[in-house]
Amino acid sequence: MNPYAALVDCLRATWLTGKTRPMEYRKSQLEALGRFLEENETEILHAMNVDMRRPPFEGQVADISMVKNEVNQALNNLSCWMKDESVDKSLATKLDCAFVRKDPYGVVLIISPFNYPFQLTVIPMVGAIAAGNCVILKPSEISTCSEKILAEVLPSYLDPDTFAVVTGGPEPTTKLLENRFDYIMFTGSPRVGKIVMSAAAKHLTPLTLELGGQNPCYVDCCCDFQNAANRIVWAKFFNTGQTCIAPDYLICTIETQERLMPCLRQAIREFYGCSPQDSPDFGRMINDKHFRRVCALLDCGRVAIGGQTDECDRYIAPTVLADVKDWEPIMQEEVFGPVLPIFTVRDLDEAIQYINSKERPLAVYAFSCNSKVVNRVLDCTSSGGFCGNDCMMHVTLVSLPFGGIGYSGLGQYHGKYGFDTFTHLRGCLSRCMGFEALNCIRYPPYSQRKLDLLLSTTEVRRKGFCTLL
The CA distances from residue 142 to 45, 90, 288, 384, in Å, are 16, 55, 11, 26
Q: Say which of 223, 244, 252, 300 is annotated catalytic.
A: 244
Catalytic, 134? Answer no
Kindly provide the b/e burial profile for residues 25-39, where b requires at least 16 CB atoms within 10 angstroms of the residue's own CB. Answer: bbbebbebbbebbee
Side-chain half-sphere exposure of 378, counting CA atoms within 13 A: 13
Catalytic, 244? Answer yes
Specify whether the backbone of 137 is left (phi greater than 0), alpha (psi in -120 to 50) or beta.
beta
Q: Say which of 210, 300, 387, 391 is annotated catalytic.
A: 210
* Beta strands per DSSP E along 31-177: 85-86, 97-104, 107-111, 134-138, 163-165
How far apart CA 350 and CA 348 sit, in angstroms, is 5
**Residues with Cβ within 8 Å of residue 413, at least 6 apart in sequence:** 123, 124, 127, 185, 208, 210, 401, 402, 403, 421
How far apart CA 423 and CA 419 sit, in angstroms, is 6
Whether residue 219 contacts residue 367, with contact meaning beta carbons closer than 8 Å, is answered with yes
295 phi, psi to nearest 5 deg: -60, -35
Which amino acids are annotated catalytic?
Answer: 210, 244
